[in-house]
Amino acid sequence: MNVGYARVSTHDQTINLQEDALKKAGCEKIFNDVMSGAKSDRPGLLQAVEYARSGDTLVVWKLDRLGRSLKQLIETVSNLNSRGVQIKSLQESIDTNTPNGKFFFHVFGALAEFEKDIIRERTLAGLASARARGKCGGRPSKLTKEQIQQLKALHKDPNNKIADLLKTFNIKKPTLYRYLKM
């Protein structure tokens, strides 16, 4: 069974062209959305994906209707393929029922993995560069080095209560103990 999915980004646009093409392609059931493809929560797409069964083909006007980014597209296609649902794009003439269509998506999958690795590499290089310049990530310290030394000295005195230290330095108990370990 062919299941269709159509999407336009705004209410000013019309979905008729896509729906007509999907009907002509033999779609028995058509789902649609009127919202940006950047949104991950698209009810029409979710319904189409849930409706499609193993052996069905999800037909779209163009691949960009399924996802705004390559990552979104690959995730959607992988999810459908794992359930035995094929993908067909009318404008790009891609059909995962064919060897060429399968090859196309394998290439896209490899590109997505490559892109993810490049981003991870850049992130790690940026963090290493920041550390080399004396910067460290995370939330800024609540107390200065001098305040931490003062806190440790006051904590050693058995006459000082933990509650008083918390009030004096305006910190919570876990923060106090983290500073004492430093």
Which of 9, 36, 69, 141 is catalytic? The answer is: 9
What are the tokens at 161? 């209560």
* Closest by CA position to 31, among listed 50, 12, 13, 9: 50
Q: How far apart are CA 169 and CA 175, in angstroms?
A: 10
Assign 13 to helix, strand or coil.
coil
Specify whether 141 is catalytic: no
What is the spatial order of strands in the sheet that 94-95 belongs to?
27-34, 2-8, 57-60, 86-89, 94-95
Active site residues: 9
